Amino acid sequence: MNFFILGGPICSDGSEFDFDGGDWTSVGDAPRCDACGNAYALLPFVPPIRGMLVADRSVFDLSQTTGREVLVSEGCIRAFGDHGIRGLFQPERIELLGVDGPVDLKTVGTYFLGRVDWGAEIDRIASGLKTTQTQPCPKCGFAGLIEGYDRVVVIEATWDGRDWFSVKGLPGVIMVAERLRNLCRGLKLRVCGLTPAEEYSAPWLSKSKG
Ligand SMILES: [Zn+2]
């Protein structure tokens, strides 16, 4: 099974595409693991969601935001519904106040902000994952600071089959199943970026430490 990782907010053409809730939208508490007490995601936006669309140069249908949520166009939401795409939870309609960039608000259409949930566990060894602790929390996968990894490999037996999911033990990475990648391609949806999981790495500290 092939998996991909959603890019953003810096997209494949080098431009930024993001949502900025500024002071217009409040944030809630970060979800915490009830076993180890660590936060396993960033602070979520609390509806009603209003703010600015950040579009340096281009407008995309699908992107990961700075807040590690999924920014998705109305056309995408409809396509996901039509094709039974699963795993994007509670997409909330955004009240767009303007566009930070050379794009007219009237032309961008409606956007939603959705989130994904744990759908697989990381294969720490196959991924080359290095963390400051060696024993991950059995509930959330937390193992101290992530020092780096060479690729993203999930334990396939732990994947629950959802098209959108996040990985226990690798917070902030939004995974996309091959079926969803193919749908985006087939419908020519403008995706900020999709990187094959085996090519997605974060080797910044592991390499410097050898
Ligand atoms: Zn935990």
Which two tokens mark 112?
């939603």
What does the pLDDT look like over 90-139, one tens digit per residue? Answer: 899 999 999 999 999 999 999 999 999 999 999 999 999 999 999 999 99
* C-alpha 206 to ligand 1 mean position (Å): 23
What does the pLDDT look like over 186-195, one tens digit per residue? Answer: 999 999 999 9
What does the pLDDT look like over 38-57, one tens digit per residue? Answer: 998 888 899 999 999 999 99
* C-alpha 31 to ligand 1 mean position (Å): 11
* C-alpha 97 to ligand 1 mean position (Å): 38
First to last CA, the chain: 31
How many domains, in total, are found in the chain? 1
Residue range of the domain that includes 121 = 3-208
* C-alpha 187 to ligand 1 mean position (Å): 39
Among 122, 165, 118, which residue's Cα sits nearest to residue 143? 122
Q: Tell me the whole-structure pTM to 2 decimals.
A: 0.93
* C-alpha 160 to ligand 1 mean position (Å): 20
* C-alpha 137 to ligand 1 mean position (Å): 5
pLDDT, position 205: 63
> Would you call 20 exposed, middle or buried from its count of C-beta atoms within 10 A (0-12, 13-18, 19+)?
middle
> Are 57 and 12 spatial neighbours (Cβ–Cβ below 8 Å)?
no
* C-alpha 100 to ligand 1 mean position (Å): 38
* C-alpha 65 to ligand 1 mean position (Å): 24
Percent over 90 (pLDDT), the chain: 89
